[in-house]
Copies of this chain bind each other. A is one copy, B any other.
Amino acid sequence: MSNSIGEKFQITTFGSSHGPAVGAIVDGCPANLELSAEDIQKELDKRKPGTSSVTTPRKEDDEVQILSGIFEGKTDGTPITGIVFNKNQKSKDYSMFKDTPRPSHGDFGWMTKYGNYDYNGGGRGSGRVTIGHVIGGAIAKKLLQTQNIEIISHVTQIGDIKASEKDFDTIKENIEKNPVRCGDLNAAHEMEELILAKKEEGDSVGGIVETIAIGVPAGLGEPVFERLDGDLARILMNIGAVKGVEIGLGFDVASHTASEINDEYQIENDKITTKTNNSGGIMGGMSNGMPIISRIAVKPTPSISKCQNSINLEKMENKKIEIHGRHDPCICPRVTIVAESSTAIVLADHMIRSGFIHPTNLKI
């Protein structure tokens, strides 16, 4: 199993839903970045459940501690370890899932591949492991801020309800004003109602999360196999529940011609830009200086209380299953911070790899 990602700015995560702790090691962050546990805590609080009607009412006090990598308030070039100890993790009986894989979850893979699967709360397949992503992302974002790069993720679709706001600053402001983390307040209201309706039915609903990064210089990404779009696609598709990734115009390119969607260059005030940004800031696998825009398709949380068909692997027989518990009726609001973190990790890595950030010491 590999639990690491990144070449120069590398994250390794560990831990499972009901084990002693979850966390991440960030290796390769240059020295002399100011960093405190609060910088990470602030981000973790955004993914914390139990904060609104549209997420799970589970309470998890995810308090992070930094165990290494900081000296006198700054990174010192050594690996940074962030850890969250799990609390109250033995409150529930999960034994009915021991031999019975939940539909559209990873259980079946874990069971057949490793043969000793911690089925409690999904084990390492749980969404709780994204705490590691957020720890890594918080550090990446702090590093990117030194280069004036800013990233936000917001919900653009839930069910059939779509948001239409496009302005970066407005979106940034609005996502903090509604529990859905949608950049368009009108749509947000409708989305919230839809989610609550599905929750009532014991069901869940999917959506789309968009991520925008501004301030990224031209030239990130390495052709041929470590392109910026490829690396973003991988880290975003690796988020549980994601079934699609697109950059810029995405799947809409299929129904267009080049003359309709090519991004033409222009010089304005001595700055090179493109008139449109259908490429989403990436051409030929490299950033071109325009905002980097991605969208991910997030499936409805597969854990629902409605009755479903499954099997008992031990007895090799068909079996019905109902998954009770306090599950998110829509995971999109909490996925935003994971998408933001994942994007930040890839950008931080490539900023170092391409020579925009010094690999060992920010003061050089």
Give the residue of B201, B224, B306 whose beta carbon is less than 8 angstroms from that of A3.
B224
Contact with B along A85-108 (1 / 0, CB 8 A): 000000000000000010111111
* A224/B13 in contact, CB under 8 A: yes
A135 to chain B, nearest CB (A): 13
* B246/A297 in contact, CB under 8 A: yes
A174 to chain B, nearest CB (A): 20
* B262/A104 in contact, CB under 8 A: yes
Q: A208-B251, A267-B317 are in contact. List 20 more A-B contacts (CB 8 A).
A: A3-B25, A13-B225, A14-B25, A71-B118, A76-B117, A104-B258, A104-B261, A104-B279, A203-B257, A230-B238, A233-B233, A243-B251, A244-B250, A249-B299, A251-B251, A256-B300, A259-B308, A261-B299, A266-B311, A355-B360
* A20/B68 in contact, CB under 8 A: yes
Chain B's closest residue to A271 (CB) is B316
Chain B's closest residue to A317 (CB) is B267
Q: Given A3-B225, A123-B78, A224-B124, decide whether A304 and B233 contact each other with a Cβ distance below 8 A.
A: no
Chain B's closest residue to A119 (CB) is B71
Among A16, A109, A263, A361, the most chain B Cβ lie within 10 Å of the Cβ of A109
Is A74 interfacial (CB-CB < 8 Å)? yes
Is A198 interfacial (CB-CB < 8 Å)? yes
Give the residue of B2, B109, B227, B262 whose beta carbon is less than 8 angstroms from that of A284.
B109
Q: Give chain A's interface secondary structure class.
A: mixed
In the bound complex, CA of A232 to CA of B230 (Å): 10
* B223/A124 in contact, CB under 8 A: yes
* B238/A227 in contact, CB under 8 A: yes
Chain B residues with Cβ below 8 Å from A11 are 225
In the bound complex, CA of A308 to CA of B261 (Å): 11
A312 to chain B, nearest CB (A): 9
* A14/B67 in contact, CB under 8 A: yes
In the bound complex, CA of A325 to CA of B303 (Å): 54
